[in-house]
Amino acid sequence: MANKNLTIVEEFILVGFSDLPNLQGVLFAIFLIMYMSIIFGNGLIIILTKITPALQTPMYFLIRNLSFLEICYTTVTLPRVLSDLRTQKRNITLFACATQLCFFLMLGGTECLLLAVMAYDRYVAICRPLYYPLIMNHRACAQLVTGSWISTIPVIPWYAYLIFSLPFCGSKKLDHFFCDSLPLLMIACGDISVLEYIVYSGTVLYIVLPLLLIIRSYVKIIIIILKLPSAIGRSKAFSTCSSHLTVVILLYGSAIITYSRPQSKTSSGIEKMLSLFYTIITPMFNPIIYTLRNKEVITALRKLASK
C-alpha cells in the first residue's frame, strides 16, 4: 500500500469503445437502433398482454413483467453508452457510478429470479395441469413477482457500498462501457479477497441458485413430455417451453462465464462482448423469441394492427 499511488477518486473514466475511434458514429447508430428496438418490442409486449383478453393468463403476466424489467435493465446502461459515444466525454462521477452499479445488479438479480418463477410456471402447467389454476392464481403470481423484485434490495446496496468504500489507486479508467463490479475491483487497492468472495457468493445466490431451480423444473418437464403418447402432444408441450429456455440459455450462458471465471487484465475485450449479450442482445431478442413462436401473441398483434 505504501508503494502505490493512493488517491481520493471523485470520478471514473469509462473506456468503453474508445479503442475504436473510427467507429464511434457507427456504434452510436447501432446502439441507438438496439435501444429503440428494446423499448418498442418490449413495450409492445406489455401493451398486448395488458389489453388482450386471451393473454390474461399467469404466463403472459410473467412475460409482461419480464418485458418491463428488460426496459428498466437496459435503461440503466444504454443511455449512458449513447451519451459517451455522442459527446466523447467518458467521465462519470463516483455517485453516478455507484447508482448505476446498484441498479444494474438489482435488476440483473431480479431477472434471474423472475426466469426461475417462469420456469416454475411452465412446470406446473405441464406437470400438474389440473392444479394449475389453483397454484398459479393471480395472488400467487403477484407474490412471486413481488418477491423477485424486492429480494435484491437488502443485499445489493450493501454490496455496492462495500465496493465504493475501497480505496482506488493508479488509473481511474474502467475498461468497460458501464460501471460493473469486476472492473471496479481491478483498480481497487488493498486486499479485495473478501469482496471477490462476496462477488462469487452473489453469483451463487442470484445466478446459480435460480439456474438450478430452472434446471430442476425442466428435468421434470422433459420427463413428463417424454411420457406423452402422442408426438403432437410432445411437440405442443415443448413449444410452450422453448421460448423461455432460449432466453435462459442466452442470459445465463454469458453471465456465468463473465462472473465465474478468473479475472485477467487482458480479458477486458472478452468481458465487454459477453456483457453485450446479457445487457443488450437478450433484451432486444426477447420480444422476437416470445412472439414469433407464439400463435396467441401473433393473433393479438394482427388484431391490434388491423385497428
C-alpha to C-alpha distance for 2 and 291, rounded to whole angstroms: 58
**Helices then strands, each counted (H, E), the chain:** 13, 5
pLDDT tens readout for residues 18-39:
878 788 889 999 999 999 999 9
The single-letter code of the amino acid at 301 is: L
Closest CA to 113 of 16, 210, 186, 249: 210
What secondary structure does DSSP assign to 196-231, as a single string?
Answer: HHHHHHHHIIIIIHHHHHHHHHHHHHHHHHHH-S-H
pLDDT of residue 293: 65
Q: What is the H or E stretch that residue 266 is in?
A: none
Domain ranges for the chain, please list them: 6-306
C-alpha to C-alpha distance for 144 and 240, rounded to whole angstroms: 20
Kindly report the length of the chain: 307
C-alpha to C-alpha distance for 40 and 149, rounded to whole angstroms: 23
pLDDT of residue 39: 95
pLDDT tens readout for residues 41-56:
999 999 988 988 888 8
User: Running along the chain, 307 residues long, what does each successive block of 10 average in pLDDT?
Assistant: 54 84 88 94 91 88 93 93 88 90 92 92 90 92 94 86 79 84 80 76 82 91 82 70 80 73 55 81 84 76 79
Q: Is residue 146 a contact partner of residue 65, using CB atoms and an 8 Å limit?
A: no
Q: pTM surpassing 0.85?
A: yes
Burial class (CB in 10 A: 0-12, 13-18, 19+), 68: middle
CATH of domain 6-306: 1.20.1070.10
